[in-house]
Amino acid sequence: MRVQSLTLAAASAALLAPSTSPAVEPVAARTEAVVRHEGDVDAADLLARAKECDPVSRGRYRTDDGTPASIPVCGTRDAVFWKADMDIDCDGRPGRKCNGRTDPLFSDATAYQQSDGRHLSAEGLPYIVVPTPSRIWDYREHGVRGGAVAAVVYQDRVQYAVVGDVGPRDIIGEASYAAAEALGIRPDPRGGGTPSGVTYIVFKDSQVKPIEDHDAAVATGERLARMFVRGK
């Protein structure tokens, strides 16, 4: 089950919103996603490097409301990573696939914005969601910020992304519509995602500017992924 990402704007909107639930229009039939494999670093090599966990979080996260808190954030000298599910974040700038009709929890804001000041496009930009800083873990203390580069691994596929939004303080495992679609995961915000099997590797002290430059994220991610695999 998808959990809505929480930004200050979204939280404020939630307090002011009426208690009645908006009507949701039917979603058009899903088309098959085009699955991409970016770069030449193998998923198996990244997963082998992330096999052992040296926890850097003080506690553990849930994948969804009501599930056990069982997921630590692990760390190496150059990266932090976690293994979780993938919920679909459809927030940010409205489009044909992500809007108030397709997503009943839609928010038109993301924690980080493009270079032109507009919010990110979940259906156009592969990005991941990190938990709001808390006693469990504060991503800012580990060289992670908006625009930090991540390698997201699912089965034999690797997708490079940026840190683009912030979610609930006790839940982990969420990425944008575009990231899910590229990995071959059903991106429907009302029932898509996958319950397990996704590894998120975020490279410390990395940052793509502008945040919306996906080609730069791929180039930087590929270079840092090779270093991560070699342990350098």
DSSP codes of every residue in 53-117: --B-SSS-BBSSTTS---B--EE-SSEEEEEEEEEEE--BS--SSSSTTT-TT--S--SSB-TTS
Residue 182 CA from chain centroid, whole number: 13
Residue ranges covered by each domain of the chain: 8-12+35-230
Cα-flanking dihedrals φ and ψ of residue 229, to 5°?
-65, -40
pLDDT score of 36: 57
Q: State pTM to two decimals.
A: 0.85
pLDDT score of 231: 87
Cβ 129 vs Cβ 175: under 8 Å: yes
pLDDT score of 15: 34
CATH 3.20.20.70 fits 8-12+35-230, yes or no: no
Run means of pLDDT, 10 residues per run, the chain, 232 residues: 42 37 37 58 97 97 96 97 98 97 96 98 98 98 98 98 98 98 97 97 98 98 97 76
Q: Is 225 helix (H, G, I), strand (E, B) or coil?
A: helix
